[in-house]
Each structure stands twice: as structure tokens, then as C-alpha cells.
Chains A and B, each alone.
Chain A
Amino acid sequence: MKLHEYQAKEILARYGIPVPPGKVAYTPEEAREIAREIGKTVVIKAQVHVGGRGKAGGVKLAKDAAEAEEVAKKILGMEIKGLTVKKVLVAEAAEIAKEYYAGLILDRASQRVVMMVSKEGGVDIEEVAREKPEAIVKYKIDPHKGLRPFEARQIVLDAGLEGNLNKLADVLVKLYKAYVGVDAFLAEINPLVVTASGEIVAVDAKIDLDDNALFRHPDLAKLREVEAEHPLEIEAQNYGFAYVKLSGNIGILGNGAGLVMYTLDLVNRVGGKPANFLDIGGGAKADVVYNALKLLSKDPDVKGIFINIFGGITRADEVAKGVIQALEEGIVKVPVVMRVAGTAEEEAKKLLEGKPVYMYPTSIEAAKAIVAMVEGQQ
């Protein structure tokens, strides 16, 4: 789960990392009031869950309260990569002397949380990683020991950061504590600024949380913003399905993440475009399949459905019952292609005999068939 910059900064501040004074505003009037309280030049930043806000014109300076209101009026309601800006962060503009990068990521290869620090801050760190990898110092953290101050000081020295060594190292130690404290997947400060007067401030911050750990952070779980997600993804979540909306027109339903990914690949290979990823999980009963079809039928993009089932713990006949119910209630109005194998395969085929479902013995044949049917409609 992604957090907004202002939420990430609240977390960092809670762990003792200095952030510029500021508040979130939902209206231009609120922005003016916050700027007046700050009484200095402020920066107004769109709070949306996409990158590239600056380039899109979603980050602007304002010298006083009146200008803050003007700027906020322009940014609020702006569309950035398909998302509407509903709130802005109004924060004191820092006097930047140096811009650094400090981030923590989960490194799957080493199975460690890795701290990355670079002198090249304030720019896209992935670009730095590609073009100047030597400019990034990486340090694998022992999960049982955490990041100790002596390790953090060495990271600062190795990265060649200039400024108060102890204060810079302290930010790294606290960033790791925050990462573990909120169960983050990613936490970064970019830029980590050393001001003209030598103060250290986290001017921008990004935190992604581990969804698996949200149960122990109910305060953070509440911050999930449903409007940032596709409405069908939210509905799928309520049903407990693993669902991803895609850009094509063939609805895909299967049991098991690997099988569903494979089904998408097959449809793509034969020239079709899947409308979604939908995994009904293991051991699904008829009602689960029925609900899954109901969900797919709400997607206006779906012009045909491909159901791919390999019965293991899931029984193919249970799947068939769900499909039949959805067909008989008239919920599904597009062609349905199905391939079933494994546990209770014969029972399923018997149940589906004479029903308006096109059955194919292999996944690839079924994929070709649904692609041809959907193309035929156009």
C-alpha cells in the first residue's frame, strides 16, 4: 500500500527525523491559511499516488499566502496520469545547499533490507543506478541487529556525504527504525537536504507498506484510498479474490496465480488481450465461481470469458455449478470458453453438457477459440 508524501513525512517525524513544517490542504483557502502560519516561502505539492508530479506541474513555489492560494487553486483538481489531485501539501521551502538520497528497500536476492545512500539526490534514483551505479552505497542490514550508529556513520562516509556526520548517521538509523516500525516495503528520503545553515531535513519522502503486515497497523490501514484503485479491484478485494484490471477485452478466470498468469500469456500469444487477472484461489466452491463471474460481468470491457481450471483441491464440478448458475440467472451475457481438467473433470463435463459454454480439451485451443470469438464480434 502506497502512502502520500505528507503521510510518509508524518511517520518520519514520529521517528525523530526533521521534516519541513507543513500541513495538508484540501481547498485553496486552507492552503492560504497554512502559508500564512508558516510566514515564509512555501512549496505546494500535489498529493497523488503517482510519480513525476513535478514534471506534470504539480509542485510549485509560492512567496506568500496570496500566491499560495493562487497556486493551490491551479493544482487542486488537476489530473496527473489519470488521477485527480484532491489535496496538496503546503510546506516551508528549504534553503537547499546539498541534496542527497537515502532509501531502504527489500532486496530479494540477499533476503535483507538494504540501505542505499547517494550523494546524487533530488533526481530519479533508478536513473542514477543505471548510469552511475558507483554513486550509490548499498549496505545489507542484519535483521537481528538492526542498523547501528557505527554502521550508519560508515555508510555516510563511504557515500561521501558532506555535513554533520553524527546528524546524518542519526537520520539513517531512524529511517531504519521507521521502516521496521511500520512494516514498510520501501522507505526513501529524496532529497535528504543539508540546508545553508547546516540543518538536515527530509524534503521529500516515499513509503510503501507491506500489505501482509497491515493487520498490526490498523491506524495505517485506515489510510488506504479506494479512489486511487479501480472500482472492480476494490470489489474483488471484498470477495477475497486476487484481481488485477488489465487493458484488454477478454475476461480471465482461473484457480491458482501461476495458472492464471499462464492463461494470460496464452491469450496474448494467440493475439488476444486479457481484460483482467482473476484468481479464485484453492478449494473454491460454486458460490465463489458465481461471484467471480458476476464481477467479470460488471466490466464493460469484457467481450468474452475464458475459464481455465485445473482441479486439485478445487473440484471441477463445483466450478461447473457456479458457471451454470451464473448462466441461468442471465448474469453472463458474453461468450464463455472453458477448459477443465483434474479432480472431478468428468462430473464437470457432464454437468456442462448442453449448456451454452464452449468446452475445449486444452488451454491453448480454448485461448484460440475465445480470441476468435471476440474478434468476430468486432
Chain B
Amino acid sequence: MILIDRNTRVLVQGITGREGSFHTRQMLDYGTKIVAGVTPGKGGQEVHGVPVYNSVKEAQKEHAIDASIIFVPAFAAADAALEAAHAGVPLVVLITEGIPTLDMVAAVKEIKDLGVRLIGGNCPGLISAEESKIGIMPGHVFKRGKVGIISRSGTLTYEAAAALSDAGLGTTTTVGIGGDPIIGTTFKDLLPLFNEDPETEAVVVIGEIGGSDEEEAAAWIKEHMKKPVVAFISGRSAPKGKRMGHAGAIIMGDVGTPESKVRAFEEAGVPIAETIDEIVELVKKQLG
């Protein structure tokens, strides 16, 4: 598995809010080691037994924090991510949807310059099966196994994980990288980690229309990947110029077409599944 395990100490930013509090309960039930929460102005409270601080810096002083998950509203979300990065939290997971794009352009650059890994925004988070969940996904569909998943989608990822689990293949770590045009971590940032992870035997990449992250991933796979990869692309029949739910799922001019993504994966020798069930078949075939 990559990035997180049962020992990862987690901070929840926006823990006193409705979403933050609900998912803190869910994550605790999954076994995630949540050590602290932050809501500015609500320091000293407790949520599900987790102590709340006024700032990430204060929380960091009391608990050595490995990762932070952010449930802060869109207008303040990029600022919250910057707060975590500046307080020295090495992994920041940004769940919030609808963050102004230019906020993300500025924040992503600053966070990367600090050497911090940002996942999201507009993402379901990440989960290492039966170890730790820093996200909002239904934990029970992820059985421990040997396939890593990287995805721009939420529900479709749960489907793929459930299908892999039902087939006895199971998952190692699943990362939802988010559906926005500007995100902190893309496919090609995570592929090297799975490439070096002894537990992961194959990787499933779930892409969609818009942008060129899939093409870049294909290029990286062609050069460096030692393990089998299976790809899936949603939005194959989507019209040009329309945003399909995700802010980033849009074909603009010649950029972001499914044809270009399919071609890139084919050139890299990556088989493309047409259905969710086919993902399982192709992974099985690849693993021999």
C-alpha cells in the first residue's frame, strides 16, 4: 500500500461542521487514527472524543500529524490547505467541491513549493484497504488485496473496487484524485509509488474526458511502469464543450477528447476496459 496505513495520524480540518463531523465518525469506525480536529474559533471542544484546536499549528504542536483531511467550505478551502502545508503536514487531502479555480492555481503551486503532497480538491480522498481511510468512500467495498486504483471519479471507483473485491483480487490503496481542472496530484504523480509498492501487483487508472492527465500518465507508463496497468475512461460519448458533472470533465477544442486518451493508452500498451466488469477480466488476464 502507499501513502497511508493504520499508523497514519490524521487531522480533520472543519471537524465541527456537518460533513466534517459525519465523516470523522465514519473514519473512526473504519479504524482511521484521527488524533485532532481544527475549526478556527472552536478550539477546546471535542467531536466524537477528538480534541478540537484553533489552528493546524496548535494541533501539530500536541500531536505529530501525518495527514490532514479538509471539509472546509469552498470559499475558505484553499486557505485551509495552505494552513496545513505551512504547519508542516506532509499529506493534505482536500475533499471540498466548488473551490474557485484561481485559488487552486495559486495554492497548488505554493503547496508543491513547500514539498507537501496535496490530493484533490473535489475528491473522495484515499483509502488503504482494512488499514486507514482518509476520505468519504464506503469503506466496506474495499477488501484488502493486490490492485492499486487511481481515479478522477468517486462512485465509479467504488464500483471498480467492489468488483475487484468480489472477484477475490482486492485492493491495496485507492486514491481519488478529484474531478476539478486544477488538482494537487495527478495519475503520473502516483504511478511511481505503486510501481515501487511490493504489495501492489497491478494498477487500475480510471480517467475521464477533459484535460490531458491520462495522456501524461500513458507516457509515463510507457517509459517506466514495471507492473500491468488497466485503464478505463468515462465520458466516451459526451458532447464537446459541456461540463459533465465534474468541473474538469469538459472537452475544450481538441483537448480532453476520449479518442486522444484511448490512443495514448493503446500506444503505451495499456488495455482499456469498456465496462466495469471488464476491468476485472483485464486485470486477471494481465496477472496471468
Report whether A261 and B159 are in contact in the complex, using a CB–CB cutoff of 8 Å. no
Contact of B138 among A111, A254, A260, A313 (CB under 8 A): A313
B92-103 CB contact bits vs A (8 Å, 1 = yes)? 000000111111
B141-167 CB contact bits vs A (8 Å, 1 = yes)? 100000000011111111100100000
Contact of A185 among B98, B101, B179, B211 (CB under 8 A): B101
Residue of B nearest to A215 (CB): B75
Report whether B244 and A260 are in contact in the complex, using a CB–CB cutoff of 8 Å. yes
Q: Which of A185, A244, A260, A262 has the most CB of B within 10 A?
A: A262
Interfacial chain A residues near B253, Cβ < 8 Å: 126
Within 8 A of A (CB), among B229-288: 234-239, 242-249, 253-255, 274-277
Residue of B nearest to A274 (CB): B237
The answer to the question of A255 belonging to the interface, with a C-beta cut-off of 8 Å to chain B, is yes
The answer to the question of A301 belonging to the interface, with a C-beta cut-off of 8 Å to chain B, is no
Report whether B245 and A364 are in contact in the complex, using a CB–CB cutoff of 8 Å. no
Residue of A nearest to B210 (CB): A108
Within 8 A of A (CB), among B88-129: 98-103, 105-106, 108-110
Contact of A258 among B105, B153, B213 (CB under 8 A): B153
Minimum distance in angstroms from A146 CB to a CB of chain B: 10
Interface size on A, residues (CB 8 A): 52
Interfacial chain A residues near B247, Cβ < 8 Å: 211-212
Report whether A262 and B101 are in contact in the complex, using a CB–CB cutoff of 8 Å. no
Minimum distance in angstroms from B123 CB to a CB of chain A: 12
Minimum distance in angstroms from A296 CB to a CB of chain B: 16
Q: A213-B102, A258-B156, A258-B179 are in contact. List 14 more A-B contacts (CB 8 A).
A: A109-B212, A111-B109, A210-B102, A213-B103, A215-B74, A255-B155, A256-B245, A258-B246, A261-B153, A267-B237, A282-B155, A310-B158, A312-B158, A362-B277
The answer to the question of B182 belonging to the interface, with a C-beta cut-off of 8 Å to chain A, is yes
**Size class of the B contact interface (CB-based, 8 Å):** 35 or more
- 11 A-B residue pairs with Cβ-Cβ distance under 8 Å, sorted by A, are A108-B212, A111-B182, A183-B101, A258-B157, A259-B234, A261-B153, A261-B208, A262-B156, A264-B235, A282-B136, A343-B138
The answer to the question of A297 belonging to the interface, with a C-beta cut-off of 8 Å to chain B, is no
Expressed in whole angstroms, the Cα–Cα distance for A254 and B155 within the complex equals 10
Minimum distance in angstroms from B177 CB to a CB of chain A: 12
Within 8 A of B (CB), among A279-327: 279, 282, 310-313
Report whether B208 and A143 are in contact in the complex, using a CB–CB cutoff of 8 Å. no
Q: Hey, which bits of chain B sit against chain A, CB under 8 A? A: 74-75, 98-103, 105-106, 108-110, 136-138, 141, 151-159, 162, 179, 181-182, 206, 208-213, 216, 234-239, 242-249, 253-255, 274-277
Interfacial chain B residues near A144, Cβ < 8 Å: 106, 109-110
Report whether A108 and B276 are in contact in the complex, using a CB–CB cutoff of 8 Å. no
Report whether A261 and B244 are in contact in the complex, using a CB–CB cutoff of 8 Å. yes
Contact of B211 among A108, A112, A183, A242 (CB under 8 A): A108
Report whether B98 and A342 are in contact in the complex, using a CB–CB cutoff of 8 Å. no
Residue of B nearest to A211 (CB): B247
Contact of B236 among A112, A265, A312, A313 (CB under 8 A): A265
Expressed in whole angstroms, the Cα–Cα distance for A130 and B179 within the complex equals 28
Interfacial chain A residues near B109, Cβ < 8 Å: 111, 142-144
